[in-house]
């Protein structure tokens, strides 16, 4: 095996020298760019990937065993970057992340929208009823339970199953979005 040119910098980084990390980051910039181009281009911004790669570099230096040199540090770091890119792709493609990406962030809402309508105000009651009418009613019981819980007819049970909780969140999101659209219409 050839002599590893990064080994002195890895030793220095393990001993706590901060300048060694700067050197390693500069010397492995090509690896970071290559993994980004091969695995993540179009999925994430490059500056976000650079920050993730720096975290991977710190962990790689910490976990790399100097005495058992079965691989060069650059090979070890490259594999760690590929593993991190694979993890990021899996997380982006998960059902939970796809559901969360469809939700409107709270900061984008222009006015406060509560999940329960003020039943004393007839105008808000009419808006809530119209929003409920326009929700696409599905033919399953979890969705119906979610609507009943949302409007306060059925009390919320203490422990919800994962599917029931997700169903309730979906109903709540659709209701809030329709209510927001109704309020924006005026």
| 81: phi then psi, degrees, rounded to nearest 5 | -65, -40
In Å, how far from its chain's centre is CA 90? 11
93/59 Cα distance (integer angstroms): 25
> pLDDT tens digits for 165-182?
777 777 777 777 777 776
> pLDDT tens digits for 68-117?
778 889 999 999 999 999 999 888 888 777 777 666 555 554 444 444 54
Residue 176 has what pLDDT?
Answer: 74
> pLDDT tens digits for 114-135?
445 456 677 777 777 666 666 5
pTM over 0.75? The answer is no
Per the structure block, which two tokens stand in for 57? 């570099």
DSSP secondary structure letter of residue 3: P
Average pLDDT of the segment spanning 136-161: 60
Domains along the chain with CATH numbers: 7-93 (1.10.1740), 99-185 (no CATH)
From 186, 4, 26, select the one nearest 111 (Cα to Cα): 186
Query: By the 8 A CB rule, do 24 and 7 touch?
Result: no
Kindly state the helix (H) or strand (E) to which residue 71 belongs, with its residue range.
none
Burial 13-45 (b: 16+ CB within 10 A, else e): beeeeeebbebbbeebeebbeebbeebbeeebe
């Amino acid at each position: 095996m050839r002599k590893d040119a990064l080994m002195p910098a890895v030793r220095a980084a393990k001993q706590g020298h901060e300048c060694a990390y700067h050197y390693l980051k500069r010397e492995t910039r090509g690896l970071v760019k290559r993994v980004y181009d091969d695995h993540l281009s179009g999925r994430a911004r490059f500056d976000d990937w650079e920050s993730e790669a720096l975290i991977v570099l710190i962990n790689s230096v910490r976990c790399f065993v100097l005495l058992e040199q079965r691989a060069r540090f650059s090979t070890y770091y490259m594999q760690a970057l590929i593993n991190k890119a694979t993890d990021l792709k899996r997380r982006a493609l998960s059902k939970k992340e796809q559901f969360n990406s469809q939700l409107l962030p709270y900061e984008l809402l222009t006015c406060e929208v509560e999940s329960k309508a003020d039943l004393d105000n007839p105008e808000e009651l009419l808006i809530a009823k119209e929003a409920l009418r326009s929700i696409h009613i599905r033919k399953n019981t979890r969705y119906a339970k979610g609507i009943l819980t949302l409007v306060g007819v059925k009390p919320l049970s203490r422990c919800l199953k994962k599917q029931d909780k997700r169903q309730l969140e979906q109903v709540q999101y659709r209701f809030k979005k329709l209510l927001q659209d109704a309020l924006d219409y005026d």
